[in-house]
Chains A and B, each alone.
Chain A
């Protein structure tokens, strides 16, 4: 079994199933903070998927998108927690 087939038939399906499982939590999460961490985890897994796709398609430029997604995940979580904490003060 070559490495390409291994990436295509094992690694990418496992990551896809992971995104689906996290999406169930995103839909049903009882509080808004559960949804925030589910969104954060989805973006983090997305960085992994982009990395594997970079390897498979031999396009190095796609790693720049991963950098931006990492930044957006961090800033999004920090902004969400900041405003959730402020909202309860009123």
Chain B
């Protein structure tokens, strides 16, 4: 009985890791790649660690496995947020089919802070800044 549970959990974990790696290879854009990677890989590794916690009848292994899962769930969104922010500031282009880029012109390029409402309206009056949406498919591939 417990073998079947472990088989199901490890299958779901391995397949979600596989889909994450397929997504990082096939998605057309850095931001889409980032959004695929973080969630699916964290869930897959968490399920595999849960299998190890069930199999070993030892409390130290279960504690370690749960600690690793907890650490991954806490830290991977922070890392994804920081690398996404750095990518937006360094001008990584968005996919060419992107409909709207709501951050366009909202950030102060010098201090890396969000502008307030008044300055945003001034920027809109003075003229649009160039957007980061790519013109061709090849730029983001």
Partner of A24, one of B25, B30, B140: B25
Min CB gap B8→A, angstroms: 11
Flag if B65 contacts A81 (CB, 8 Å).
no
Stretch among B69-77, B98-106, B115-123, B124-132 lining the A interface:
B69-77
Partner of A47, one of B51, B68, B89, B140: B68
Flag if B64 contacts A63 (CB, 8 Å).
yes
CB neighbors of A among B68-112 (8 A): 68, 71-72, 75-76, 78-80, 82-83, 85-87, 89-92, 112
Min CB gap A83→B, angstroms: 9
Known A-B contacts A11-B10, A41-B24; the reply to A85 vs B51 at CB < 8 A is no
Bound CA span A40–B80, Å: 10
Known A-B contacts A11-B10, A54-B52, A80-B83; the reply to A45 vs B17 at CB < 8 A is yes
Count of chain A residues with Cβ under 8 Å from any Cβ of B? 49
Known A-B contacts A18-B18, A25-B25; the reply to A44 vs B42 at CB < 8 A is yes
Flag if B49 contacts A37 (CB, 8 Å).
no
Bound CA span A63–B78, Å: 23
Flag if A44 contacts B45 (CB, 8 Å).
yes
Interface residues of B (CB under 8 A from A): 3, 6-7, 10-11, 13-15, 17-18, 20-22, 24-25, 30, 33-34, 37, 41-42, 44-45, 48-49, 51-52, 55-56, 58, 60-61, 64-65, 67-68, 71-72, 75-76, 78-80, 82-83, 85-87, 89-92, 112, 139-141
